[in-house]
A and B are shown apart, each in its own frame.
Chain A
Amino acid sequence: MKKYFNALNTSVLILFTISLFSLSSCGWKPSEEDIKKLEETKSAALSAEKTLADKKKEVKDLEAKIAAKKKDLEKLKSDKDKVMQSVETAK
């Protein structure tokens, strides 16, 4: 009887342990590969957003440079007309 009780006790113990492990792992968990994929995507997205901000700043800087150059060019063309007129008068 005692031998039977011990065997039953051991079986219950094993079953309980197995059920605990099963219960704790029954939900979905991301694998290492999933975690790596999410982290890499996040990192790449943040990097792309930073690059995009830098590019937008570069565009603004270029636009300002072009506006200044345009003004300089108009002034120089006006000066060129004056110089040409001065040269013609001197002839």
Chain B
Amino acid sequence: MRSIKTLITISVFFFLTSALYAQSYNYEEMTQEQYNAYLAEWQGRLDAGNSGISEQDATIDELNKELQSMDAEYGQTWNDIFAATGTSQEEYNSYQDAISQLKKDVAAFLAMSPDQIYQNAAELDKLQARLTELQNNHFGVMSENEADLNEIASMIEQARGKGKSAVPPSYTVQRGDYLWKIAKMPDIYGDAYAWMRIYTSNKEQIKDPNLIYPNQSFLIPREVGPNQHLVVRGEYLYKIAGYSNVYGNAFQWQKLFENNKEVITDPNIIFPYQVLNIAR
């Protein structure tokens, strides 16, 4: 009887310990077929991974070579530019710094009151001279610089318009005057081509731009509003739409056209001194 008890105790102990052992390791319940399948699966994934790495390494090598070749070509193109202009990278950096500085100076000038601008008209002429000097530099034709210089030109023109608001906003026609002559007067616009601005602002009084009469009083608009743009020479809708203070996106030129159909009949033709409304 005691032997049977001993036998039962041993059996229970054996089963309990074997059950515990199986729970500690997942491999206990794994058959050889399962093991082989898992091993084959991981081996397959490892092989595919290694093969893919080799392919990607080859691609990376090719791309790096291509990039190096383009870097070399890029450097060579710059060297050609420097050789043609007889300059160096340092001089080009100085040129770009000069553009940035001029842009800041013009922006600061534009922020002044109309009276201050009018009183410091000589300063504006100096800014214009700095701009002209930068435009005459060979680097001035490069697209990025050209865009910056055009923007500065537009800001200077706006400053001129703002400064002129300090002088009387109207002009009384004298005998012998004509629109071209009035527009050219220093206190009016200082530019004969600005006759169109006088004409478009006084259409009720001027039936024919070639016929004006003494004692007629013409409105001389000076300022350009924050949502307006005064067209300067060399500008076109695509370029204006790209300015950061307009839409900052040249492709929005059509929006500019749609909102100014009263003054623009053909989107390919706009004139200096036209004032365009910038719908936001």
Q: Write the residues of chain A forming the contact surface with B, with a CB cutoff of 8 angstroms.
A: 9-10, 13, 16-17, 20-21, 24, 27-30, 34-35, 37-38, 41-42, 44-45, 48-49, 51-52, 55-56, 58-59, 62-63, 65-66, 69-70, 72-73, 75-80, 82-87, 90
Contacts and interface: CB of A to CB of B under 8 A. Distances in A.
B66 A13 contact: no
Name B's interface SS: helix
B142 to A, nearest CB: 4
Interface in B130-155: 138-144
B123 interface: no
B105 interface: no
Interface of B: 3, 6-7, 10-11, 14, 18, 27-28, 30-32, 35, 38-39, 42-43, 45-46, 49-50, 52-53, 56-57, 59-60, 63-64, 66-67, 70-71, 73-74, 77-78, 80-81, 84-85, 138-144
A2 to B, nearest CB: 12
A68 to B, nearest CB: 10
Contact of A62 (B3, B63, B144): B63
Contact of B63 (A21, A44, A63, A84): A63
A55 B70 contact: no
A79 B143 contact: yes
A51 B60 contact: no
Nearest to B50: A48
B56 A55 contact: yes
B46 A44 contact: yes
Nearest to B56: A55
A29 B142 CA distance: 76
A66 B141 contact: no
A90 B78 CA distance: 20
Contacts of A51: 49, 53
Contacts of B46: 41, 44-45, 48
Contacts of B3: 9-10, 13
B141 A83 contact: yes
Nearest to A55: B56
A79 B141 contact: yes
Contacts of B57: 55
28 contacts: A9-B3, A10-B3, A17-B10, A20-B11, A28-B31, A29-B27, A30-B27, A35-B27, A41-B39, A44-B46, A48-B49, A48-B50, A51-B49, A51-B53, A55-B57, A59-B60, A66-B63, A69-B70, A69-B74, A70-B70, A73-B70, A76-B77, A76-B78, A83-B81, A83-B139, A83-B142, A84-B84, A86-B140
